[in-house]
Structure 1
Amino acid sequence: MARQRSPRSSEPRSVERERGGSREERYVYGVNPVLEALRAHAERVDRIFTAEGQLAAKAAAEIFSRARDSGIRLERVPRERLAAMAEGGVHQGVIAELRGFEYMELEDLLEAAEESGRPALLVVLDGIQDPHNFGAIIRSAHALGAHGVVIAKDRAVPVTGVVAKASAGAVEHCPIARVVNLSRTLEELKEAGVWIAAADPDSKEPLWSARLDGPLAVVVGAEGAGVREGVLKHCDFRLGIPMLGQVGSLNASVSAAILLYEAARQRGTRPAAGS
């Protein structure tokens, strides 16, 4: 595959609620998501709720220390209230109330790639509505060096508490852009010199046969439906993941992780041990 595109010319679960008409709040629960929110964006945390006897001592020490240092209000509440706030999720004894999630613009993601000195690597999601899949994809994207994730404003799950939990807190570190039209966005990425590769179980081209070391956006569709045909026609090539078993396709988050790992391998990326 040729690499001749012109360079570009002159970013444990959260429950979002509307509050006071215009202000949006987000509940993030679980030890790792709360800690990552405090480490990455303490200024966005308004309050932290804990239940007596449910939060592990080591986690409590760091959470309380960071909250005090940042002037964040701490409240002890009955465990029943935590369960209600987490809407049945496993909160591990702690919930943080954050300001609404701050989505980035596509341009922010491209600028982040340029500043990193590495070829752009983005993940574009077409119709992912399962928050667990979305969160797992964010986690893989962050771990494998992607500069961000792109989702559509419609027909896609937004960043919620379930997404934050499934991402193990990676949502606080991985920029996410939300766009109006995916097809138009793919054309904008092409104009910026980015190649577009779609995950397609019907493709005869295995992922390892393609050049994935240049500026790249990986498009992953919803489980079952896959990438829509109207989006596929804007992709430069389609990649399959050869399988030996009897099941014909993989979970969307697993497909994304495999494609991202192959891209990282070709780029010589060596994730830190244990990441």
Structure 2
Amino acid sequence: MAGNDSRRGGLRKTNKKGATKGSGGQVRRGLKGKGPTPKAEDRTYHAAHKRKVERDRRDRGRHQREMPELVVGRNPVLECLHARVPATALYVAEGAANDERLSEAVHTAAGRNLPVLEVNKLELDRMTGNGMHQGIGLAIPPYEYADVHDLIANAAASKKPGMFVILDNITDPRNLGAVIRSVGAFGGNGVIIPERRSASVTAVAWRTSAGTAARVPVAKETNMTRVVKEFQQNGYQVVGLDAGGDHTLDTYDGTDNVVIVVGSEGKGISRLVRENCDTIMSIPTEGWVESLNASVAAGVVLSEFSRQRRIKG
């Protein structure tokens, strides 16, 4: 028979597919239910899930905005209270070790009719983002920035030579706070910072300024080149600080209206702002020191210009 012929081509062919013995339980598993259908917002491919993710992101951002800015640490809080920094409440951690600074802070806050709120230490940790608060935090409202035109007008009304600092590419709020403190210490009239890519007056800046941000105005402007030209049109010399300057602090006369432009330690002053400065000035240092921190450089120049003005009388 053809089907039994052992010769090549004599084998019977069949179209059968699949296993010949059982299914290994695959059919039974395939018939088993998969449970209830997940909610649309739980299905990662569904538009409702994307809306949920975006809603959660907005809620987190809203929660973060609602959290108060806190100046923390016993000395900074006390200094801010003495400087009458605008504040909304004083937070004290339950069980915080008492000392003269804590007692004085509570007494001073009460004297200013500020609410003194006792909170759990873990709650204060969460509010501050770390545990370095020393059991105390001063809540401050958002900073109100000045207008650069008002700053120039106020300096002119004082009948004394004006002195301002422009910070360019400074992103560390501690540097901003230190510069604000130096401006206040050496008789400056204010600080100007860019709207973008710059540190702002946050709780960290308040803390570093030791409360002087309450008395030294800070303006935030969108176009720093335009600000430089605005000062020049009002009779100011604009001095940019750079290690390769064509003038040095030893020979520069800072007794007239002057604006000091300070760039970051890494990037320096941005190109357009640098090109519009009247002078690029360097600070003499030991040769093996490459550069100074931005706030240190600003403090050195402010101190020297203040000394010159005192001598001139």
Question: Structure 2-normalised TM-score?
Answer: 0.74
Q: Deviations over 1:135-186 (max 9, x none)?
A: 2111211111111110001010111122222222222222111011100001
- Larger mean Cα displacement after TM superposition, 59-68 or 224-233: 59-68
What is the distance in 2 between the residues matched to 1:255 and 1:180? 24
Aligned residue in 2 for 1:110: 152
Q: Deviations over 1:40-77 (max 9, x none)?
A: 446x3221101245365322333222322332211111
Which residues of 2 match residues 50-89 of structure 1 at below 5 A? Answer: 50-54=92-96, 56-88=98-130
What is the distance in 2 between the residues matched to 1:88 and 1:127? 27
- Shift of the 53–111 alpha-carbon distance from structure 1 to 2, 3 Å rule, reads farther
Find the partner of 2:76 among 24, 33, 52.
33
Unaligned runs of 5+ in 2: 1-59
Q: How many residues align?
A: 253
Task: Give the share of equivalent positions with the same residue, in percent.
Answer: 35
Aligned residue in 2 for 1:226: 268
- Shift of the 103–187 alpha-carbon distance from structure 1 to 2, 3 Å rule, reads same
What is the distance in 2 between the residues matched to 1:213 and 1:128? 26
SS at match of 1:135: helix
Distance apart, 1:129 and its partner CA = 0.5
SS at match of 2:269: coil
Higher relative contact order (CA 8 A, sep 6+): 1
Aligned residue in 2 for 1:49: 91
Aligned residue in 1 for 2:18: none
What is the distance in 1 between the residues matched to 2:98 and 2:259? 40
SS at match of 2:170: coil
Distance apart, 1:24 and its partner CA = 8.3
Letter in 2 for 1:29: V
What is the distance in 1 between the residues matched to 2:154 and 2:72? 28
* Preserved CA contact (<8 Å) 1:36 1:170: no
SS at match of 2:226: helix
Unaligned runs of 5+ in 1: 1-16, 270-275
Aligned residue in 2 for 1:139: 181
Aligned residue in 2 for 1:4: none
SS at match of 1:209: coil
Which residues of 2 match residues 1-275 of structure 1 at below 5 A? Answer: 25-41=68-84, 44-54=86-96, 56-88=98-130, 90-268=132-310
- Shift of the 203–21 alpha-carbon distance from structure 1 to 2, 3 Å rule, reads closer
Name the larger-Rg structure.
2
Q: Which has the higher strand share?
A: 1
What is the distance in 1 between the residues matched to 2:277 and 2:263? 13
SS at match of 2:250: helix
Question: Structure 1-normalised TM-score?
Answer: 0.83
